[in-house]
Amino acid sequence: MAGEWVAPVVAGASGITGAGIGAYFTWRTARHGRDHVERMANKTAESQLALAREAHKVEAYAQLSSLIIAVSALYASDPLRGHPPGMPIPTFESLHEQTLNVTVNLGLHGSKDVRNLYREWGENQRTLFEHDARLQMSVQNRADLVPISEAEYKDALEALAEANKRLREQMNKELTS
């Protein structure tokens, strides 16, 4: 009779131990499951963010390409030659607004290389715009505003064309790699 208590105590102790071990492994499995779900959610969020960034970059570069085409059409020797059909001939006002939008979008989403090339391109564009503004004002009885010389004008046109080429090449390189 003295040993009757051993069997129930051992059975109870092994049951409690088994339940404890079972609870531990259940908790551990659940933790690993939660960690896995969290890692997958982070990877999905990171890939969606990368896709959104790439989409913004493509949109900024498309706007820049449109601006390059518009400025090229404005300063072509024959503005209608090479101008996309259905696209209105640009005005300085429309180009100003378009330039502001491109500048903001490139500042937010463009690469450093494209921003630097755009800055150089913008300097050439401004030289031509200032020439045209001075020319227009000198015709309107402002003889003190002398436009740049014909040689300087041709140099500015060539510099703008070269800047156009480098910008297009850099954007193409970034978007196709």
Q: Measured on CA atoms in the order 156, 162, 166, 171, is the torsion positive or negative?
A: positive
pLDDT tens column, 90-144:
777 788 888 899 999 999 999 999 999 999 998 888 888 887 777 777 767 666 6
SS3 152: helix
Separation between Cα atoms, residue 66 and residue 102, nearest integer Å: 9
Contacts for 58 with CB less than 8 Å, ≥ 6 apart = 175
Q: What are phi and psi of 80, to 5 degrees?
A: -90, -20
Cut 0.85: pTM above it: no
Q: Residue 148 gets which letter from DSSP?
A: P
Comparison of pLDDT for 9 and 176, the residue scoring more: 176
- What pLDDT, in 10s, does the model give residues 5-45? 766 767 676 767 766 777 777 888 878 888 888 888 888 88
pLDDT digits (tens, 9 = 90+) for 153-175: 788 888 888 888 899 898 888 88
**Rounded (5°) CA angle 172-176-177:** 115
- What pLDDT score does 126 carry? 86
pLDDT at 119: 92
32-80: per-residue pLDDT in tens?
888 888 888 888 888 898 898 899 999 999 999 988 888 887 776 555 4
